[in-house]
Amino acid sequence: MLRALPGGRIDEAEDAAADKLPLLMALEKKALWLSTWMIHQANHLRPSRDGLKVGGHQASSASVATLMTALYLDVMRPQDRVAVKPHAAPLFHALQYLLGNQSRDKLERFRALGGAQAYPSRSKDGDIVDFSTGSVGLGVGVTLFAALVQDYLRLKRLVPSDTPPGRMIALAGDAELDEGNIFEALLEGWKHDVRNLWWVVDYNRQSLDAVVSDRLFGRIDALFEVFGWRVVTLKYGRLLQAAFARPDGEQLREWIDACPNSLYSALVYKGGEGWREHLRRDLNRYPGIRAILDEHDDEALARLMTNLAGHDMGSVLDAFHAVADDQPTCFIAYTIKGYGLPFAGHKDNHAGLMNPQQMASFQQSMAVPAGAEWDRFAGLHVPPEELEAFLAEVPLAAKSARRHRPPPLPVPAEIVAPRGRHLSTQEAFGRILGSLATAENALAGRVVTTSPDVTVSTNLGAWVNRRGIFDRAERADTFREEKVVSAQRWGMSPQGQHIELGIAESNLFLLLAALGLAGPMFGARLLPIGTLYDPFIKRGLDALNYALYQDARFIVVATPSGITLAPEGGAHQSVLEPLIGIAQPGLASFEPAYADELAVLLRWALEEIQREEGESVYFRLSTRPIEQPERAIDAALAEAIVGGAYWLREPAPGAELAIAYCGAVAPEALAAFDALGEDVPGLGLLAVTSPDRLHAEWRAALERGEPSRAERLLWALRPGAALVTVCDSHPATLSWLGSATPVTLMPLGVDHFGQSGDIPDLYRVYGIGSDAIIDAAARALLRTVMPASGA
Ligand SMILES: Cc1ncc(C[n+]2csc(CCOP(=O)(O)OP(=O)(O)O)c2C)c(N)n1
Ligand SMILES: [Mg+2]
């Protein structure tokens, strides 16, 4: 039907929206059914072999059914990217199934090996997922940084800028907004004038445990507005709005507005009778309200009172389509957790599953015949051909690539190591980046650095001086303009290649996640390098894990590290980070001692992060200047450095003793080596550049039934020989070497909090100095001849 506007114009847009409403409502119903069924069959019909509940979130899915159907089947365009609320995964899979992008087989194996994932996963569900989600808050945060990365690429014309930008969309749970990382991101986004960002809050007023506090959301919109966002609140659906327009309707509105979240939720669960009882008690003196109560039977009253805008397809479409500019927008959509399901509104419904009886009556109400449960259109009032034709025209159905696969950028055959008698790995890193900044190659143009307020102190200064800081607008360096002398030049422009962040390590890793997905997500590769202090990896660890889980590729440079930073004192001294390096999937980690090792490793890392099956790379660097070896690195040595270890001093065949060290304690290991050499001829000194790679290769070799690199290296020693391991981190970093080969191992390292001091004092107190190594060697040698008895 075409609607005549004043002046005789015909509003075709509105007409199109009205025409598709019944189709979208039918498909929403089907998506809800499929999500519920998917979970039901996984829990109740698929045989269980382990007695564990399979789970799945029927109520969380139902809550966003209208919002997600509107987005996926109407509003979104191919260039938009989404982070779906983790617990809405079943609904997401159902919508993809309706679009023809998800197979029935995968749905039938929901939460089973190889099936549709419990939470949307980029790496396991494939191209249909833009951002993985699971750890609440992080998916929301990453969309903000993706919007920033999109701008970075467009402003530099690394991607076409003649097509409209995509909107980065997060579907967030309301309780998800308790996660601090969201607000850290919000602040950072404001600083960077982020655009094209939509956060859609599923305001069902329930979390996992309970009903969420009323007080928070009284402030949420003001909070977003302060940061320059538009806030669109979708509160009441069309039925309720019509009721409010009736005589005394205002009373009803006021009553609902004042209704505490917990009471509203409880009444949703209780249904019409409960609503009637409370409305009678509170509003019976108003004739208009009495009329409404009389006209509605219990079912109709329940429908009216739960007619929130987040479940009203027309209201939802209007709200989404009304936003045509790039101002970041937060939609607060009032919804009901479990809407349309028997446990709607019940505070315990988060992990609730419909039982077989409830499911049977739900199936009946959905008019889905037995045997047609997976049918895409069974039980809907709209003819299947019409639905099929509609789905074929949905913007997201267009087979444009959602995931790009740009070719790798060539990496130079060599990165020249900085020269100098005494160098720290941190200084070497700064100098390598400084010379990269002067290079006129494609690779340098794609490097982007970022740091949470430790750019200068992690030695990125030379790079930043040359390449500038990224900003949407050109901004002068005031200190420079005012001729105040400083080594740092902080001019900002869209050409800048450093993104300066405030102090929030979680933001660092979310930005690295977004930068590291630039290739697949937007079609232009970036080579991101993020720097931070090593101890603060833990502050952002979940975001780091999140970034790696979705296979974002980047380099993390963590410095300073360990007790080697000495006077800086206990709180800054990292201890367990190398163990994170070993245990964290998706991350290859290195702790080189020398500048030439770092040069080899950085070159390798730039290739590795671009390799299809590659990983991100973590470098743990130090501020301690140490004497550099004079040597040329040949191919074999370079391979060993990347592999994780090489003999700095080769042992004689059948040697009794070796020292294995990692990182900045190299001088102590060398001093001990020299001192012990007089008494233990032929001993060896093993330089371990990557406990992580060495450990991983050991495991892989064991599986293949072949000798590992660690074993092959240590074969040079006599079986049972003494091995002292030493590192400025937890001793477990290297002590596993004792399982890789038959040695008598003495592990040195740091296993309690650090404190201020100078290196000689601290190394002595923590037992990683040369005296401690010599002492440990003596004890180990003694054990080789006189093993400790168990008596
Ligand atoms: C970081 C993190 N902490 C805890 C959880 C466990 N958890 C899963 S869902 C949830 C509550 C979610 O509530 P809300 O965001 O409102 O989602 P909805 O009501 O839409 O299900 C919690 C605490 C998690 N997934 N991630
Ligand atoms: Mg909630």
Please report which ligand is nearest the Cα atom of 140.
1
Q: Which residue puts its alpha carbon closest to atom 21 of ligand 1?
A: 60
**Ligand 1 centroid, distance to 175 Cα (angstroms):** 7
- Whole-number Å distance between alpha carbons of 442 and 419: 25
pLDDT score at 284: 95
Ligand closest to Cα of 541 equals 1
Instruction: Give residue 173 CA to ligand 1 midpoint distance, Å.
Output: 7
pTM comes to: 0.96
Distance CA 626, CA 216 (A): 54
Q: pLDDT at position 456, please?
A: 92
Residue minimizing CA distance to atom 12 of ligand 1: 207
Residue 5 above 60 pLDDT?
A: no
> How is residue 51 written in tokens?
């007695």
Residue nearest to atom 13 of ligand 1 (CA): 207
Would strands 626-627 and 422-423 be described as parallel, antiparallel, or unpaired?
antiparallel
Distance, CA of 746 to CA of 10 (rounded, Å): 85
| pLDDT bucket at 789, cuts 50 / 70 / 90 | low
**CA-to-CA distance for 442 and 277, rounded, in angstroms?**
71
pLDDT band at 398 (very low <50, low <70, confident <90, very high): confident
Q: State how far the Cα of 698 lies from the Cα of 713, in Å rounded to an integer.
A: 12
- pLDDT tens digits for 664-704? 999 999 999 999 998 999 999 999 999 999 999 999 999 99
Say which ligand is closest to the CA of 205.
2
Whether the Cβ atoms of residue 169 and residue 85 lie closer than 8 Å to each other: no
| Residue minimizing CA distance to atom 1 of ligand 1 | 135
Which of 35, 64, 87 to mutate for ligand 1's pocket (most ligand atoms within 8 Å of CB)? 87
Q: What pLDDT was estimated at residue 83?
A: 98
Q: Which atom of ligand 1 sits closest to the CA of residue 212?
A: 16
Cβ atoms 410, 592 nearer than 8 A: no
Q: What is the pLDDT of residue 788?
A: 67
Torsion of CA 235, 239, 241, 245, to 10 degrees: -160
**Count of CB atoms situated within 10 Å of the CB of 134:** 17
Of the candidates 504, 500, 556, which has an alpha carbon nearest to the alpha carbon of residue 529? Answer: 556
| Secondary structure element (H or E) that encloses residue 688, with its range | strand 684-688
Ligand 1 centre from 136 Cα, in Å? 6
pLDDT at residue number 219: 84
Dihedrals phi, psi of 367, to nearest 5 degrees = 60, 35
The answer to whether 723 touches 743, Cβ cutoff 8 Å, is yes
List the structure tokens of 112: 């089973």
CA distance 548 to 516: 9
Lowest mean pLDDT among 99-113, 204-218, 302-316, 645-659: 204-218
- Taking the alpha carbons at both ends of the chain, their separation in whole angstroms is 94
Indicate whether 496 pLDDT > 80.
yes
pLDDT at 311 over 90: yes
Ligand 1 atom closest to the CA of 136, numbered from 1: 26
**pLDDT computed for residue 486 by the predictor:** 80
Q: How confident is the model at residue 9 (pLDDT cuts 50, 70, 90)?
A: very low
SS3 451: strand
Taking the centre of ligand 1 as the mean of its atom positions, its distance from the CA of residue 87, in whole angstroms, is: 8
Nearest to 94 by CA among 43, 17, 35, 53: 35
Q: Residues with Cβ < 8 Å from 478, sequence gap 6 or more?
A: none
Provide the phi-psi class of 106: left if phi over 0, else alpha when psi is between -120 and 50, else beta: alpha
Q: Which atom of ligand 1 is nearest to the CA of 202?
A: 20
* CA of 179, closest atom in ligand 1: 1
Q: How far, in Å, is the centroid of ligand 1 from the Cα of 137?
A: 9
Kindly give the number of the ligand 1 atom that is closest to the alpha carbon of 207: 13
Burial class (CB in 10 A: 0-12, 13-18, 19+), 303: middle
* Residues, the chain: 791
CA distances from 606 to 110, 597, 602 (A): 37, 14, 6
Q: Whose CA is nearest to atom 23 of ligand 1?
A: 208
Across 533-668, the runs of DSSP E, i.e. the strands, are: 555-558, 587-590, 616-620, 626-627, 645-649, 655-662
Atom of ligand 1 nearest to the CA of 135: 26
The pLDDT of residue 522 is 96
From the CA of 208, how far away is ligand 2's center (Å)? 7
Q: Is 335 helix (H, G, I), strand (E, B) or coil?
A: coil
Q: How far is the CA of 61 from the centre of ligand 1 (A)?
A: 13
Q: Summarize the confidence of residues 26-36 as an average pLDDT.
A: 98
Residue to mutate (ligand 1; options 208, 209, 337; most atoms within 8 A of CB):
208
Dihedral sign from CA coordinates of 173, 176, 182, 183: positive
The pLDDT value recorded for residue 756 is 95
Closest to 493 measured CA to CA, from 151, 164, 167, 188:
151
- The answer on pLDDT for 14 being more than 70 is no
Instruction: Tell me the CA–centroid distance for residue 182 and ligand 1, in Å.
Output: 14
Tell me which ligand sits closest to the C-alpha of residue 61.
1
Looking at the chain, the number of H-run helices and the number of E-run strands are: 34, 20
Taking a C-beta distance cutoff of 8 angstroms, is the pair 680, 777 a contact?
yes
Q: Whose CA is nearest to atom 20 of ligand 1?
A: 173
Torsion of CA 195, 200, 203, 208, to 10 degrees: -100
Q: How confident is the model at residue 6 (pLDDT cuts 50, 70, 90)?
A: very low
Phi-psi region of 407 (alpha: psi -120 to 50; beta: other; left: phi over 0): beta
Task: Among 181, 207, 343, name the best residue to mutate to test ligand 1's pocket (greatest count of ligand atoms within 8 A of Cβ).
Answer: 207
698-to-114, 325, 589, 611 alpha-carbon distances in Å: 28, 55, 15, 22
Is 627 a residue whose pLDDT tops 90?
yes
Residues with CB under 6 A from ligand 1: 60, 63, 85-87, 135-136, 173-176, 202, 204, 206-208, 337, 350
Question: Ligand 1, atom 22: nearest CA belongs to which residue?
Answer: 208
Q: Which pLDDT value is given to residue 86?
A: 97
Model confidence at 479, pLDDT cuts 50, 70, 90, reads confident
pLDDT at 85: 97
Distance in Å, CA 209 to ligand 1 centroid: 9
User: Could you give the 3-state DSSP secondary structure of residue 347?
Assistant: coil
Instruction: Single out the residue of 741, 660, 657 nearest to residue 701, CA to CA.
Output: 741
Interval between CA 83 and ligand 2 midpoint (Å): 16
Confidence of residue 790 (pLDDT cuts 50, 70, 90): low
Q: How confident is the model at residue 42 (pLDDT cuts 50, 70, 90)?
A: very high
> Is there a cis peptide before residue 629, judged by omega within 30 degrees of 0?
no
The CA 341 to ligand 1 mean position distance, Å, reads 20
- CA 209 to ligand 2 centroid distance, Å: 10
Q: What is the pLDDT of residue 497?
A: 98
Average pLDDT in the chain:
94
Query: With 80 as the cut, is the pLDDT of residue 1 above it?
Result: no
The per-residue pLDDT for range 692-739, each reduced to its tens digit, is 999 999 999 999 999 999 999 999 999 999 999 999 999 999 999 999
